[in-house]
Amino acid sequence: MKISVIITLKKDVLDPQGKVIHQALDGMGFNDVNEVRQGKYFEIDTKETDPQKAKNKVEEMCKKLLANLVIENYKIIDAQ
């Protein structure tokens, strides 16, 4: 089954890349953007067929490797 995870920077962590993207959007005429925050997206294809078990495993992966919990949050957004 495929589990989708997004990793985002925590609120009080500076995101200079997001800022630059925001500025670029501004320059392109998208003037109504308040803020841009850049994150990461992972698709993990696992042999596990039980959705809850698969989610638990991916959560463990997030805590141990995919995210650094000092600066990042993770969210499992899909399992199918």
Partner 1 sequence: MKSAVITFPGSNCDRDMDVALKKFGFKNKMVWHQDVELPKSDLVVLPGGFSYGDYLRCGSMASKSKIMQSVINFANSGGMVMGICNGFQILVETGLVPGVLLRNKYLEFICKNVFVKISAKDSAYFKNIKNDVLELHIAHNEGNYFCTNDQLKEIEDNAQVAINYCNNEGKIEKSFNPNGSIKNIAGIFNKEKNVLGMMPHPERMIDSSLSGEDGSLFFKNLINNIK
- Tell me how far, at minimum, the Cβ of 36 lies from partner 1, in Å: 14
Least distance in Å: CB of 24 to partner 1? 13
And the tokens for 46? 């696992």
For position 20 contacting partner 1 by CB under 8 A, the verdict is yes
Cα end-to-end span (Å), the chain: 6
Candidate residues 32, 35, 65, 80; the one interacting with partner 1 per rule CB under 8 A: 65
Enclosing H/E stretch for 18: helix 16-27
Residues that bind partner 1 (CB under 8 A): 13-14, 16-17, 20, 65-66, 68, 70-71
